[in-house]
Amino acid sequence: MKILYLETSSKNCSVAISDDEKLLCLCEEISDNYKQSESLHTYVEWALEGAGLTMKDIEAVSLGKGPGSYTGLRIGAASAKGFCYGLKIPLIAVNSLESMIQPFLETNYDYILPLIDARRMEVYTAVYDGKTGKELSPTEAKILDETSFQEFKDKKVIFVGDGAKKAKDILNLPDAEFRDDIYPSAQYLIKRTQEKIERKEFEDIAYFEPFYLKDFHGVKKKKSED
């Protein structure tokens, strides 16, 4: 099954294509300017070319559904839904935090905690078992302070993601490891996507919305009075 993967929830605009579990091509770039709107469809074209496929060969689309950048998630979701509508193929959605833990599974960590910077002292996070990747606590928006995550003080734990830099300065966890160079990547959606396909966990394309976690705080228009 040829699958297209889109991950646009962070500074990493990432596109991958697989044949079942085999990665055929990956195109991605980390940019502080969030280049999803200008780069995503170009990366899709490059990935298809690298895989030796055309869009008509794609049999499903998998999307990193967030949490993360509101604008990035909207761009990724709109593109994924458009592809699925046009090709009449299923949509699979995977929590973007799960793609961040994949490189660290089975590497002797008791726990893996992805941290996505949500500005100020807030991060999007969840707790995953370091051996199995099982989610141990649900995704949440968490305000960091010196008392955060003290339950892991005597455990072998790694914090990954662009929120790890500020976490390292705040948390009282001298034995923990921190990797702030990790971003969600389309290539690490493959495993969870295959599991969801086997269970036939497909999204309703018409009603699908990204996992924003928090409401977007924009300027509300004042309703005119009759």
Tokens of 47: 């990935």
Q: pLDDT (tens digit, 9 = 90+) per residue, 142-191? A: 999 999 999 999 999 999 999 999 999 999 999 999 999 999 999 999 99
Q: DSSP for 112-125?
A: EEEEEE-STTEEEE
Model pLDDT, residue 223: 46
Nearest Cα residue to 159 out of 191, 190, 116: 116
Model pLDDT, residue 69: 92
Q: pLDDT (tens digit, 9 = 90+) per residue, 199-222? A: 999 999 999 999 998 754 444 444
pTM of the model: 0.92
Residue ranges of alpha helices (H) inside the chain are: 36-51, 70-87, 96-101, 164-170, 190-198
Rounded to an integer, what is the distance from CA 159 to the centroid of its chain? 15
Model pLDDT, residue 215: 58
Query: What average pLDDT does the structure give for the chain?
Result: 93
Rg (the chain; Cα; Å)? 18
Q: pLDDT (tens digit, 9 = 90+) per residue, 21-79? A: 999 999 999 998 877 888 999 999 999 999 999 999 999 999 999 999 999 999 999 99
Pairing of strands 22-30, 12-19: antiparallel
CA distance 141 to 193: 24
Pairing of strands 91-94, 157-160: unpaired
Residue 224 has pLDDT above 50, yes or no: no
Model pLDDT, residue 34: 78
Neighbouring residues of 80: CB distance < 8 A, sequence distance ≥ 6: 6, 61, 63, 91
